[in-house]
Amino acid sequence: MSINCSFRIIIIYFCLYLSGLSVSAQVQVRNTIWNGEDFLCTPACRVVKEDSIRSLIFESVSYKGQAKSVFAYYATPAMLQGNSSQEKKLPGIILVHGGGGTVFREWVVMWAKRGYAALALDTRGNGPDKKHIDGGFDENEKETPYFDVTLPQKEQWVYQAVSDIFNAHSLLLSFPEVDVERTAITGISWGGVLTCIAASLDSRFRVAVPVYGCGFLSESGRMKQQLDGLPDEQREIWLKQYDPSNYLPRMERPILFINGTNDVHFYLPSMARSAVLASQSGLLIKQGLRHSHKYGWQSEEIAAFIDQYLRDVKPLAQITNEKVEEGLVSGEIISSTPVEKATLHYTTDSGQEREKYHWQAIESKVEKNKWRIPLPAGITTWYVNITDVRGYQISGELHIGN
């Protein structure tokens, strides 16, 4: 099927419209390796299949001398019902898979059922069957070259993948049913790493939720192992060009970092340091959260956090005035929803292999939006979560050492 999905009759006008948005609503790539690319115009696009959702292929930046092809799924609430002609002003979301993944149909459908225009893209040059598409990114021996900086810079995977996200966002914004003032991005694992970079540079996104993925990868579990396996010069080039810690200081929109206590790829200290760099960041640490696409996207707080900025629903709670005095940690809560409990999550373990730490929990009642919990002896790493009556959690600061 060769349906033009980018509404090319109005592309020129739409590009001019996007260019006329405020300076704060642009892809701000000046002084980065992406400087010089045009990410504001709508990329060429065709529909290759349409049932209750659309299968698309759109053009991204130049790759090996020609425009690269990227596969994506797209769905809206009415599209799932077989009619999208009356939809307008929908919030939009970009979905970015992680390592070894692809576009996930169920992920797109999940967000469309939530009321979003959802677009999931493949960053590996594949279609939904994980088979290479013509003109797509070329993985050597089916291994994504995450850390390979020996390739020409504009053919390196992170450069290409972030560019694909910018172009996918421009495509999403071109659809007439999408509200250009209300778009978000979320990504899982490596998709979280890409989300950190893309959201920091593309201020057209209003909110972002990276799951697992973060910055400071040279200090983080298996990411550190892979980086340490590179020659020193290549390691330093990768960290300078692609570690999200270089870009998160530019992140001026709300961002929520989500991770599990024992993640083997992205350690908690790296996530906490990443969050400090962004001006409007939050943390959600879940004890025992396992690492996978499905475990990652199942956290209901992802939609709750995004909804509070794009759909004007009651926000997640916030922990304030957290302090430690005389063996007690205490704090206050800002919440428009009643809060059920505060929980101290802690470990007495130490050492470099954080994925092996044993975590324990102590619950406490919340009275008048205040809480206090005694700190156990020998505690080494800890944080406090509060849970509201909807079951939504949010975390306070990550503490390392007592």
Q: Which of 162, 159, 68, 84 is nearest to 118 (CA)?
A: 84
Confidence (pLDDT) at 25: 63
How much is the pLDDT for 12?
35
Local mean pLDDT, 10-residue blocks, the chain (402 residues) = 42 41 68 90 95 96 96 97 84 97 96 98 94 93 89 97 98 97 98 99 98 97 96 98 98 98 97 97 97 95 98 95 94 96 97 94 95 96 97 97 62
pTM, rounded to two decimals = 0.94
Q: Which amino acid is at 238?
A: W
* Contact criterion met (CB below 8 Å) for 314 and 336: yes
Q: What domains are defined for the chain?
A: 3-310 (3.40.50.1820), 318-400 (2.60.40.10)
DSSP 214: -
- Residue 11 backbone phi and psi in degrees, to 5: -60, -50
Q: What is the DSSP string of 68-104?
A: EEEEEEEE-HHHHTT--TT--SEEEEEEE--TT----
Structure confidence by residue, pLDDT tens digits, 152-201? 999 999 999 999 999 999 999 999 999 999 999 999 999 999 999 999 99
CA distance 217 to 230: 13
DSSP state of 378: T
